[in-house]
């Protein structure tokens, strides 16, 4: 793998992670964060697929991974659902097994009924829908602690790993677990097809009572309500402006 050009700088350094062979771990610092650094490295060709970045912060766990798509952008975006499933599987590994990890369409991850974080997908600017992008980056963020957010009663719609009783000092272990779950999730896509992958995502999607949903080849969902009424749920708006992200802080909305 090609190492980043500024690997020795304070903003980017090797991460002390135990990862599957296909991955290389880096610690990202500074305003760009894990997602920004991952996109920059992918854009400049300074990192290959499997470059996994994490941020060292106490309030959130933030990560980003470079992917190598093999199909046109219009359908390659379904890799987002693979990343979300890997994220949910990772959270479920460390959390109490009786508490569900679910999605709010399309990009918010909830734990115990409250917003814990979310994910998004990035691709090269100017890439046409019919072109295979040179790279994709899946990035995600989870609330680690809300100690600086004041009284928890003021932010009841969100929760944190700390509040929910997850192990302390979880960042490295969680990022390592995410890499393993992501590898498995892409193996399922490769062996069983994209429909199986999106089906695993849909199994965690919160739906109205009696409703069912499908995901089309371009990543949009079709929701059929219990009364037979249909509703379209587009993917793209949330990838452009993540619903879980606070635009004022760039963090998970509290």
| pLDDT tens digits, one per residue of 122-174 | 999 999 999 999 999 999 999 999 988 777 778 999 999 999 999 988 999 99
Gap between the Cα atoms of 1 and 26, Å rounded:
13
The 10 Å Cβ neighbour count of residue 2 is 12
DSSP 252: B
Cα separations (Å) of 57 from 6, 54, 132? 21, 9, 34
- pLDDT at residue 66 in the model: 98
Q: What is the dihedral of CA 243, 247, 252, 254, to 10 degrees?
A: -100
Q: Is the pLDDT of residue 78 over 80?
A: yes
Q: What was the pLDDT predicted at 65? A: 98
pLDDT of amino acid 148: 83
Cis bond upstream, residue 106 (ω within 30): yes
Of the candidates 120, 105, 95, the residue with the CA atom closest to the CA atom of residue 34: 120
pLDDT in tens, 180-190: 999 999 999 99
pLDDT per position as a tens digit, 84-93: 999 999 999 9
Per-residue confidence (pLDDT) for residue 150, from 0 to 100: 74
Which domains, ranges and CATH numbers included, belong to the chain?
12-206 (3.30.930.10)
pLDDT beyond 90 at 10? no
Distance CA 188, CA 254 (A): 34
% of the chain surpassing 70 pLDDT: 96
- pLDDT over 70 (residue 8): no
Tell me the pLDDT tens digit for each residue of 196-251.
999 999 999 999 999 999 999 999 999 999 999 999 999 999 999 999 999 999 99
Residue 6: pLDDT over 60: no
On the question of pLDDT at 5 being above 70, the answer is no
Quick one: pLDDT at residue 154? 84
Rounded to two decimals, the pTM is 0.94
């Amino acid at each position: 793998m090609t190492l980043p050009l500024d690997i020795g700088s304070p903003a980017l350094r090797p991460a002390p992670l135990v990862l599957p062979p296909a991955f290389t771990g880096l610690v990202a610092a500074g305003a760009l964060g894990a997602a920004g650094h991952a996109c920059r490295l992918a854009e400049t060709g300074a990192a290959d697929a499997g470059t996994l970045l994490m941020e060292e912060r106490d309030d959130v766990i933030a990560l980003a991974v470079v992917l190598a798509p093999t199909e046109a952008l219009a359908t390659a975006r379904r890799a987002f659902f693979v990343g979300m499933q890997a994220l949910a599987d990772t959270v479920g590994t460390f959390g109490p097994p009786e508490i569900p990890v679910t999605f709010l369409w399309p990009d918010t991850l909830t734990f115990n009924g409250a917003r814990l974080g979310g994910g998004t997908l990035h691709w090269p600017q100017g890439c046409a829908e019919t072109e295979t992008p040179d790279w994709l980056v899946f990035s995600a963020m989870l609330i680690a602690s809300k100690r600086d957010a004041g009284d928890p009663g003021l932010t009841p719609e969100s929760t944190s790993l700390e509040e929910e009783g997850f192990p302390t000092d979880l960042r490295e272990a969680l990022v390592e677990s995410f890499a393993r779950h992501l590898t498995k999730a892409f193996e399922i896509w490769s062996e069983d097809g994209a429909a199986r992958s999106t089906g695993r995502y849909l199994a965690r999607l919160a739906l109205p009572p009696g409703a069912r949903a499908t995901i089309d080849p371009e990543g949009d969902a079709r929701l059929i309500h219990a009364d037979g009424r249909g509703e379209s749920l587009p993917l793209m708006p949330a990838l452009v402006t993540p619903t879980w992200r606070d635009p004022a802080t760039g963090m998970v909305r509290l």
